[in-house]
């Protein structure tokens, strides 16, 4: 928790650097958790590798979370929380998306569980997931306008 | 149970709406069932009837205030939600909770697990027709709720954990109540098993029903007993131990059949293992010791000190007016709630309010597997499958 270890010695970083070096835009270590910042265009290839590589085997997707950093650009951060059950290891991937028409490929081909996570993010943040078979609202009524978890969504008064 | 043949075609099927108001959906869940007679052709799940914007609300509350809204997500295991959130904030702050508070947290969280599984067992059984089990389970649960009321003042929405430890010192005599539970519950669990485990009707309604293979379970992100019933040994308490769980000796219930019966056996075994943990915690808890971390700007000082020392008074004032500000950064803390992996993701921007609080709730993710479990089977099995997933709509919709 205090000292940042040598991240290049971390197995996940080393394997990714060896096979998909362009996928690592940045590395972060905070409170014992490793975060890899991935450029948007490389995400799908990277996750396909992470899930299928026998040495890493990140076969389980725990969570997909979005954060709205309005008014900073790139506005949205998408965090993918991966878990490797065989190695008892966790990893976070972060992708930054612009505020204008944010979109990214769906990771459903790799982890079907992303289905509802991505629908919820579309519902509450307005980020589109290309290739998602059923991208429509789920928590809010179908005719709702606006995306409530965005920071510029009004918290009081008439909409 | 084999997949039944259906006559597909719009003239042959009927769309039936199950819910959102239905006694067996365990909350406001809507399932659109396309039926060919009694066979389910497709099942589409529609949620959102209990969405109250908890994650958005948390952005307007300070870190301490947000504990109270975490209770209301998984309302059958409020202390689990409290724990996930408090651990996440403590991780963000980098503060260490004293051992006494950690053991008490473990004890109460395991009692919560038993309480939650009792509700699950009672409601699952009554859905399938075993009505007496429901009453017996709630009789036991009453004892647990009395303990929660004794320590926190609340039967359900306890908000008993605080950033850095516990809210209050537990009252004297509470350990006697816990001991009474340890003495009486094992035989009560035997009673439930006598009623259900070898019961022919129960076996007929749960064996082979709601099949979920291990590959599907992992692909759908299922966790908790629903995953362990399909043979995957993933329990966050063993994988990423938190709050001193590594010091406790307990087994993880895993079965391989992948049907409702396997999940039932897992949860019953989990209740017994939780009792073991409670017993160990009761022995480990030191009679005296701090219940809150020693972190001056974060944890409020003791009232006596606040009344006599100037510095403590200033800390008290600043904590309760401004709140404390963790460093900017993000953390994701997993715990094993009764339903599975409960994850709390907090993004901090250095202000006293969470910039983003996300709760990865197990019921939300587990419910995705429902479609796979019921399509191609009988409508009566839909009830068994919903029950076996042990969902709570509060944490699905938030």
CA distance A41 to chain B (A): 23
Beta strand segments in chain A, E: 26-30, 33-37, 60-68, 76-84, 89-97, 103-105, 128-130
Give a yes or no: residue B160 inside a domain: yes
Give a yes or no: residue B345 inside a domain: yes
User: Which stretches in chain A have pLDDT values below 70?
Assistant: 1-3, 158-159
pLDDT for residue A20: 86
Which tokens is B159 given? 């908000």
Cα-based angle B15, B17, B20 (whole degrees, multiple of 5): 165
**Optimal mutation site among A33, A65, A88, A119, interface B, most CBs of chain B within 10 A:** A65
CA distance A90 to chain B (A): 9
Give a yes or no: residue B46 inside a domain: no
Q: Which ipTM score applies to this complex?
A: 0.92
Domain enclosing residue B58, as ranges? 54-397
Query: Closest partner residue to B218 among A35, A60, A67, by Cβ?
Result: A60
Nearest CA in chain A to B358: A65
Whether B56 and A30 lie within 8 Å, measured CB to CB: no
Scan residues 99-118 of A and list those with Cβ closer than 8 Å to B. Answer: 111-113, 115-117
pLDDT in single tens digits along all 398 residues of chain B:
445 555 555 567 888 998 888 888 888 899 999 998 888 999 999 998 999 989 999 999 999 999 999 989 999 999 999 999 999 999 999 899 999 999 999 999 999 999 999 999 999 999 998 889 999 999 999 999 999 999 999 899 988 998 988 988 899 889 999 999 999 999 999 999 999 999 999 999 999 888 999 999 999 999 999 999 999 999 999 999 998 999 999 999 999 988 999 999 999 999 999 999 999 999 999 988 888 888 888 888 888 888 899 999 999 999 888 888 899 999 999 999 999 999 999 999 989 999 999 999 999 999 999 999 998 899 999 999 999 999 999 999 88
Whether B48 and A138 lie within 8 Å, measured CB to CB: yes
pLDDT for residue B9: 55
Closest of B243, B226, B155 to residue B372, by C-alpha: B226
Q: What is the pLDDT of residues A108-149, one digit of tens each?
A: 999 999 999 999 999 999 999 999 998 989 999 988 888 999
For every residue of B61-114, DSSP letters joined together read: S-TTTHHHHHTTTSTTSHHHHHHHHHHHHHHHHT----HHHHHHHHHHHHHHHH
Give a yes or no: residue B107 inside a domain: yes
Instruction: Find the CATH number of the domain harbouring B361.
Output: 1.10.645.10
What is the SS3 assignment for A34?
strand
CA distance B331 to chain A (A): 7
Whether B332 and A88 lie within 8 Å, measured CB to CB: no
CA distance A45 to chain B (A): 18
Give a yes or no: residue B26 inside a domain: no
User: What count of CB pairs under 8 Å joins A to B?
Assistant: 94
Nearest CA in chain B to A33: B331
Whether B220 and A149 lie within 8 Å, measured CB to CB: no
Query: Closest partner residue to A30 among B48, B329, B364, by Cβ?
Result: B329
Domains of chain A plus CATH, in order, are: 7-130 (3.30.460.80)
Domains contained in chain B, number? 1
The strand pair at A103-105 and A128-130 is best described as: parallel
Give the Cα separation of B50 and B212 in Å (integer).
27
Give a yes or no: residue B37 inside a domain: no
What is the SS3 assignment for B259?
coil
The strand pair at A33-37 and A89-97 is best described as: parallel
Give the Cα separation of B74 and B393 in Å (integer).
8
Give the Cα separation of A122 and B38 in Å (integer).
35
Give a yes or no: residue B23 inside a domain: no
Give the Cα separation of A26 and B254 in Å (integer).
39
Query: Closest partner residue to A31 among B48, B51, B92, by Cβ?
Result: B92
Closest of B315, B277, B282, B271 to residue B296, by C-alpha: B315
Closest of B383, A60, B229 to residue B391, by C-alpha: B383
CA distance B194 to chain A (A): 35
Give a yes or no: residue B334 inside a domain: yes
Give the Cα separation of B374 and B215 in Å (integer).
17
Q: What are phi and psi of A54, to 5 degrees?
A: -65, -25
């Amino acid at each position: 928790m205090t000292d940042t270890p040598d991240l290049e010695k971390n197995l996940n970083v080393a394997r990714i650097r060896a096979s998909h070096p362009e996928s690592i835009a940045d590395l972060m270590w905070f409170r014992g958790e490793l975060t890899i910042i991935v450029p948007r265009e490389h995400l799908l290839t990277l996750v396909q590798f992470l899930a299928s590589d026998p040495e890493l085997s990140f076969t389980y997707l725990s969570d997909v979370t979005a954060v709205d950093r309005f008014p900073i650009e790139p506005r949205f951060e998408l965090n993918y929380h991966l878990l490797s059950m065989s190695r008892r290891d966790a990893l976070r991937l972060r992708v930054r998306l612009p505020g204008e028409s944010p979109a990214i490929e769906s990771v459903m081909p790799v982890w079907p569980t992303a289905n509802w996570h991505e629908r919820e993010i579309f519902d509450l943040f307005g980020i589109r997931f290309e290739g998602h078979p059923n991208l429509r609202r789920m928590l809010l009524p179908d005719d709702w306008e606006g995306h409530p978890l965005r920071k510029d969504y009004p918290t009081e008064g008439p909409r | 149970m084999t997949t039944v043949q259906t006559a597909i075609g719009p003239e042959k099927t009927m769309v039936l709406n199950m819910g959102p108001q239905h006694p067996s959906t365990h909350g406001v869940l809507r399932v659109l069932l396309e039926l060919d007679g009694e066979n389910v052709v497709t099942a589409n799940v529609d949620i959102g009837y209990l969405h109250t914007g908890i994650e958005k609300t948390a952005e307007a509350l300070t870190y301490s205030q947000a504990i109270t809204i975490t209770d209301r997500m998984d309302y059958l295991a409020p202390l689990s939600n409290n724990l996930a959130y408090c651990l996440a904030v403590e991780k963000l702050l980098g503060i260490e909770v004293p051992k006494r508070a950690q053991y008490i947290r473990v004890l109460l969280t395991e009692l919560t697990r038993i309480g939650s599984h009792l509700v699950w067992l009672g409601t699952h059984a009554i859905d399938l027709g075993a009505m007496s089990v429901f009453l017996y389970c709630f009789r036991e649960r009453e004892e647990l709720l009395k303990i929660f009321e004794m320590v926190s003042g609340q039967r359900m929405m306890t908000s008993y954990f605080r950033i850095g430890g516990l809210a209050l010192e537990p009252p004297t005599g509470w350990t006697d109540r816990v001991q009474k539970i340890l003495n009486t519950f094992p035989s009560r669990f035997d009673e439930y098993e006598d009623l259900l485990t070898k019961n022919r009707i129960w076996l007929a309604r749960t064996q082979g029903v709601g099949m979920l293979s291990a590959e599907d379970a992992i692909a759908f992100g299922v966790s908790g007993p629903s995953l362990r019933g399909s043979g995957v040994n993933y329990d966050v308490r063993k994988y990423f131990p938190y709050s001193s769980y590594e010091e406790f000796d307990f087994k993880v219930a895993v079965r391989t059949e992948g049907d409702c019966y396997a999940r039932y056996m897992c949860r019953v075994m989990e209740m017994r293992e939780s009792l073991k943990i409670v017993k160990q915690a009761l022995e480990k808890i030191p009679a005296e010791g701090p219940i809150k971390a020693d972190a001056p700007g974060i944890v409020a000082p003791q009232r006596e000190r606040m009344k006599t020392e100037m510095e403590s008074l200033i800390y008290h004032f600043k904590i309760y007016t401004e709140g404390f500000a963790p460093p900017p950064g993000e953390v994701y803390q997993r715990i094993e709630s009764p339903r599975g992996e409960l994850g709390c993701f907090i993004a901090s921007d250095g202000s006293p309010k969470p910039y983003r609080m996300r709760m990865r709730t197990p019921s939300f993710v587990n419910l995705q597997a429902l479609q796979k479990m019921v399509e191609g089977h009988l409508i009566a099995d839909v009830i068994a499958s919903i029950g076996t997933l042990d969902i709570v709509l509060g944490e699905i919709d938030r």
